[in-house]
Chains A and B, each alone.
Chain A
Amino acid sequence: MTPVLEIKNVTKNFGGVRAIDDFSVKIEPGKIHGLIGPNGAGKTTIFNNITGILTPCNGTIIFDEKEITGKKPHEIAQYGIGRTFQNIRLFSNLSVLQNVILACSMDAQYNLIDAFIRSPRYRRMEKQISEKAMSLLESVGLDGNCDEIASKLPYGHQRKLEIARAIALNPKLILLDEPAAGMNADESAELVGFILEIKERHEFTVLMIEHHMDVVTNLCDYVTVLNFGKTIASGTPAEVKKNEHVIEAYLGGAEGC
């Protein structure tokens, strides 16, 4: 099967710091792929390179058989990669519903003239977008909060809203940066169910960064472990958890948190 995303020998330097060092990985379609590693290993940097916020110093990134290295963030989003952020980045002063609607601009295939004359096409698409946004909110369980201001939501809800916003792109691939951060065990468990469910419903591939090992174990089909920007291990969660290097560099004595 051709991978959805293939990263080939990517390197990224910040001044003297080599954050990613000749990193390669293939993400199989339909899978949930975990990316773990110590703090500062370069995980978020990889996300930023994939999504075009950063440009790799070296190497190529291929998505859906197209090379996307060095493309602009919005282009990459349009190709079908959605993401969430480690430090939540919502449109904070806008309502929950507006947050999702803003992410649907690609569905609005009308032009300025349509907008000015309120053409049937314009009406139809605007209607579709509202409906889509509502149903997305429904699927993440935020339909009851659609008029609330995003920044006033509890933390966990903000994370879900970010995910909903990413799904609004109809992505083939979703990148989740620590979705379970700040959640307790119960909430994490709920998140696992939630991600599985929406993944089934919307049929995308997931690449996620996570430090909660129970979430990783329960969710990921495959895990890549990163340290100092290099892969130190990969395999199923069970496999990597047993890997000595991983235990030494990442997990420490006690497994799972």
Chain B
Amino acid sequence: KQEKQAADDTIRIGYVSALSGDTALWGQAGLNGMIMTAEKINAAGGVLGKQIEVIGLDGRGDPMDSVNAYNKLIDEYKVVAVVGTNFSSCNIPIAAVSDVKKVPVIATAASNDLVTVDEKGKLHPYSFRLCFIDSFQGGKMAEYMLDKGVKTAAILTNIGDSYSVGVSEYTIAAFKAGGGTIVAAEEANSGDNDFRAQLSKIAKSKPEVLFIPWIYNDVSLISKQARELGLKCQFVGFDGWDSMELPTLAEGALEGAVFCSRPGFSTPEAKAYGVEYQAKFNIGLEAECLYGNDGILWLAQVIEEAGSYDPEAIRAGLENTTFFDGLLGEMENDPLTHNPKRELAIFTIKGADEVFVEMYN
């Protein structure tokens, strides 16, 4: 274990996510993003004069495996903080463990409310996150559509994915509460690639809009199949749509669709980062890269401010962050819930572009 002890002039930061298996695309992207940013920080002199070393371990997207990886990072690699994962199902058990291990963990895209606060409402003091929570974006998007005068909506939920289930639940609730009618609430499952049964049914109910709380890959299939079946309504999405490639993948089926995302989605900084990323790793940018980037930047900011990289100091720093501006956009950490307060940005798809429409709050 000797060689695993960090040298005195480095600060070790861990990363856990699915680096293998069928969701490795995003896990890898997050790690790459972290590594690229860490290199930049190091080149600029590091943090507190020390170099940052990123250690990524695979958790396969499996909760138990991810907990093990988190423990291994702390016990064997002596990291001071961990970034990851992008799965609520992994971060909920990690949060419970972090209560004991007392090393802060910043979830990237794990959006379930329980990641930072347990079911009894008690805060997990060491668990943080970067993304919107399900209730926030679900509710906001429903309100946004109601504001636009939409009265009837359909929704297609991925019941195998906690993100989709969570977002759907809040979207439906808010849409109904605002006086709208959900004319069809259909379900499909992770791994499905044919949605025509559900879409035929949705088409029959003639909604004005269809909410699609899915990850962009699936969104492209759903939208194409919907158009093939003659479904003409507007499509509405959430931050799972967050990908530059979506318009191309959907081959025009998403023209005019709207979705919400973090404000930094199409800023020049984010685009420049994407170009740099593509050049370095020879692969397109994923939102997850930005999460990785923001995770490490946030930690760096907190460590600098605290002047210490003791996990306890980092925890306090993260908790009391009132302003952090990353590639995802500006945020403030809510010390009571550990959820980031950030604004919701609305985008629309035009041709091969995703165009910023407005901020919505």
A touches B in complex, CB < 8 A: no
Residues on B lying within 8 angstroms of A by beta carbon are: none
Residues on A lying within 8 angstroms of B by beta carbon are: none
